[in-house]
Chain A
């Protein structure tokens, strides 16, 4: 039972980190209807800046720099490429983001090489004992920070002018533009926000118990894709739920690996995708996604 609880708590905190990534993904999709495959490399960029800067300026300044860098990269991708691509379908824009992703990931993994970069976080490998279960401090912080950020964003969507503009654009871009919403700014800010969230997530993905930032981190970030889609691509609540489902599934499957030996080694990595397939079979637009009714 203690093992189960421990795995569950770990799963929830990892899930919260996935939810952060998925949230950025959903924000971009809502604001611009672009499925952003660059997300994994934004995350890698943020993590890389933190890892390289922390010996020079200390962890907190490096974290701020990493968040700013990832936001800047996101904004630049929107401003320099997507805004200038005049294509008929959103599907082609998705492929453009794949092109950008190939560029960024290749360059970043080349720079990282075979190294495993530490992030110099203040929590180290300390663990917290809560009754029968032990949890890494980083996991607790991750859960708290992710929860705070997600709540802040949900509130911002509801109550700030930026959030209203974003929601109006998602609802009907043309009408929103006629009402004075500046679409360029909305999508630029969406990309910047998504980059910033990805950098925070990168930090939590690379600290204890993970050894550090290496070239496999981008693959870990891939798990946010099923998180975003199984919750529903256009739903912030869905991103939250999807992240938690993916995190818990992954952690439980890895934790009980020895009992699940018939499924093979490393089932934890494939499990989120299996869950995604099952959910998509039952609900093609995700758990919380809106099913667009078409009027003909």
Chain B
């Protein structure tokens, strides 16, 4: 090959105007439409506590907490390709640290929450010698240890964790505003109890968590993480410190887990060790697969699906065929939900690569294509 022939490698950088990296996201035609869409979503979210009853608020809050945790594990599993079965442990670390720091050490609630997230991060950091060196499913098995050892500690360290019965969770308090049922508060004729108040805290936390993760995924770290997932050696050759990134993402994802733990503790108002078991970790993996691996929107969609499903089935169990009342011998709502989302995980991988988020993107692309075609194609009459 002579020197003068331009090769593919030399010709590609000739278009510097185009950004090098374009993630696959739903691209709406114009800025104003997108802004309007976000405003609508925000308005709807703010309006919810004024119209819906406690059940929906609680279900929504669980979904928000699950979404925060799922974003974290999607950074790790979806974007970096590192499997973790230990996510429930970090939720527990966050939830229990919050309770311990605010009730026993008497820290102000917001400070305790921040410190609890930090504690979850430190736990992830302590595991980083393993998280940095093991890859993929190998790490998945290793993180099983976190669940079993964590459960052991939760049941046995009674002075801190309260043992089997757990501990009550002190309410959050921000600048004198208490997120609890007392003192009474009525806004626009709607009594604002703890769920209504926490709703807004949940929205704020979820929005912040989602924005941060989006920033990480779209920036250089996101590129590095995806390269590690797709080809570890290539990543290393290109100068990505693979082990450090793996460990770092593990810490970040455990901090997301910790934040989700704090929120779920605030909603539950009681932390019990049984909740933070193996099943919770599996739930989180199901969420990100169903929603879509590696994207923030996917994590949120999957979290909503997996955490709302059992609650909806429980609420409407008498109206649904095949689902029996709990304890009556048939398929209970919780079991039906688990069977459904277990099947959903398998179905998504077989038939819907990219999950719910991928489906939305594809539908969006089809729409856009139709739209463009309709605009650019002349009327059939003039074509003749």
Contact = CB atoms under 8 A, between A and B. Distances in A.
Given A100-B342, A264-B152, A296-B233, A95 B331 contact: no
A296 B343 CA distance: 40
Interface in B343-370: 343-346, 349-350, 353
Interface in A67-111: 81, 84-96, 98-103, 106-107, 110
Interface string B151-182: 11101110000000000000000000000000
Contacts of A86: 353
Contacts of A37: 140
B296 interface: no
A82 B86 CA distance: 24
Interface in B116-140: 129-130, 133-134, 136-138, 140
Interface residues of A, number: 49
Interface stretch (A10-18, A45-53, A169-177, A224-232): A224-232
B349 A294 contact: no
A216 interface: no
A119 B372 CA distance: 67
Interface stretch (A57-65, A181-189, A271-279): A271-279
Contacts of B298: none
Given A226-B141, A266-B155, A277 B338 contact: no
A222 interface: yes
B233 A91 contact: no
Contacts of B156: 263-266
A199 interface: no
B237 A296 contact: yes
A224 to B, nearest CB: 10
B341 A90 contact: no
Contacts of B113: none
A277 B129 CA distance: 10
A224 B281 CA distance: 19
B155 A99 contact: no
Contacts of B81: 89, 91
A110 B82 CA distance: 31
A270 B339 contact: no
Interface string A251-278: 0000000000001111101100110110
Nearest to A87: B349
A107 B339 contact: yes
A233 B141 CA distance: 10
Nearest to B341: A102
Contacts of B282: 98, 101-102
B245 to A, nearest CB: 16
B285 interface: yes
B335 A106 contact: yes
A219 B349 CA distance: 26
Nearest to B153: A264
B383 to A, nearest CB: 40
Q: Chain B: interface residue count, which band? A: 35 or more
A103 B133 CA distance: 31
A99 B345 CA distance: 5
Interface in B264-315: 278, 282, 285-286, 289, 293
A35 interface: yes
Interface stretch (B3-11, B92-100, B142-150, B192-200): B142-150
B152 A269 contact: yes
Contact of B339 (A106, A226, A294): A106
Interface in B315-342: 331-332, 335, 338-339, 341-342
Most central of A107, A228, A263 by chain B CB within 10 Å: A107
A229 B140 CA distance: 10
Nearest to B277: A219
A280 interface: yes
Contact of A92 (B134, B289, B338): B289
Contacts of A277: 130, 142, 145, 149
B233 A273 contact: no
A35 B141 contact: yes
Nearest to B137: A35
Contacts of B293: 92
Nearest to A225: B141
Given A95-B345, A106-B335, A106-B339, A273 B148 contact: yes
9 contacts: A86-B353, A96-B345, A100-B346, A103-B343, A228-B141, A264-B157, A266-B155, A284-B133, A284-B134
Given A99-B343, A273-B149, A277-B142, 19 more contacts: A35-B136, A90-B136, A91-B82, A93-B349, A95-B77, A95-B83, A95-B345, A98-B345, A102-B342, A110-B331, A228-B141, A233-B138, A265-B155, A266-B155, A266-B156, A269-B148, A270-B152, A274-B145, A277-B145
Interface of B: 77, 81-83, 129-130, 133-134, 136-138, 140-142, 144-145, 148-149, 151-153, 155-157, 229-230, 233, 237, 278, 282, 285-286, 289, 293, 331-332, 335, 338-339, 341-346, 349-350, 353
Interface of A: 34-35, 37, 81, 84-96, 98-103, 106-107, 110, 219, 222, 225-226, 228-229, 233, 263-267, 269-270, 273-274, 276-277, 280-281, 284, 294, 296
